[in-house]
Amino acid sequence: MIYLDNAATTKTAPEVVEAMLPYFTEYYGNAGSIYGLGSRSKKVIINAKEVIAETLGTDANEIYITAGGTESDNWALKAVYEAYQDKGRHIITTKIEHHAVLHTCEYLEKRGAQVTYLNVDENGVVDVEQLKKAIRPDTILISVMYANNEIGTLQPIREIGEIAAEHGVLFHTDAVQAYGQIPINVSECHIDLLSASGHKFNGPKGVGFLYINRKVRMHSFVHGGRQERGRRAGTENIPAIAGLAAAVKRAFHIMGEKTKKEIELRDYLITRIEQEISHIRLNGHRTKRLPGNVNFSFEAVESESALIMLDMQGICASGGSACTTGSLDPSHVLLAIGLSPELARASIRLTLSEDNTKEEIDIVVEELAKIVAKLRGMREDR
């Protein structure tokens, strides 16, 4: 199997699994207990927050453990809206956000929020001048993703953060695709809230975190016990939190070497596809993109068919569009960067890890070229 869908999820690293195992059967105490077994679990939480905080250049008291990126995005937007309605009800985001942000914004609009959805250019980059013009006296939050999950484009986060700070507006970034892949400093980028998810950088599924700057007024998101300083109730998932900490340590230890390798493979993959397959379009910024992200549209090719044929050859990839209600709808991201619905449905995303090799890339390009030629030939024969 050749796995090229690391934007969807990553393999849990062996050292992460090893870090988790003792907390299932040996050190299984509830972190809210006063005896030693529970205290050990409490230390796991404290350690995880310290490890995460160090990578962001912040304090452990500003890290809150969640069930992953979707919960973190929901918490950030809903809690800010609830807490800052005395100032205003206006939120600014983009048309290419993850649905965890877009659907939350739709939910808030039904409850009185006014949301501005910014356009992006053909590479998926936000126009900061348009952002400045969108800010109003009643704007309470700007939410712009650090890196796009489909096309890999990196946003000018520092510049956006500076604009938000100048106008006294809170700034949230969905960094689910970026955290653990590239360095992030919340202070330098004026980030007030940041979402991340463990399974995107070789950690376990079902655990992530939300960074909340201490200046931000936030109400409780999950009501019940006093966990997470009363803001997120529920017994903590200690094995997952131990795994999250191990994954964070691993990700930042290997980041330099990993990034270099993935960029080399990414650019090699892009070059080979462009040289060997005609009538294609690279989606996303050519250089200002995640190290391991490649997204192409192939004219006159349905991505669903191509993905099935790749799978038959043992190659795991994904489309630039998602299946909803049984039909293949064009990706909102690809439509936002100017693709036609037909071309948006002809997109394939190939996302790399440090485990991939040049030999694997050669195989993938060879098989992809055959599949594209076959599908185009079948289309012409109709």
> Can you list the positions of beta strands (E) in the chain?
2-3, 63-66, 90-94, 114-118, 139-143, 170-174, 193-197, 208-212, 280-282, 293-298, 315-316, 318-319, 322-324, 327-329, 347-351
323 is an active site residue: yes
Measured over all CA atoms, what is the biggest interatomic distance in the chain, rounded to whole angstroms?
73
What b/e sequence results for 240-276 when a residue is b if at least 16 CB atoms lie within 10 Å of its CB, and e otherwise? bbbbbbbbbbbbbebbeebbebbbebbeebbebbeee
3-state secondary structure of 356: coil
**In the structure encoding, which two tokens stand for residue 192, read together?**
């007030």
User: Residue 380 burial by CB count (10 A; 0-12/13-18/19+): exposed, middle or buried?
Assistant: exposed
d(CA 287, CA 154): 9
Q: Of the listed 105, 189, 316, 323, which one is catalytic? A: 323
Confirm if 74 and 170 have CB atoms less than 8 A apart: no
How far apart, in Å, do the first and last CA atoms of the chain sit?
33
List residues with catalytic annotation. Answer: 323
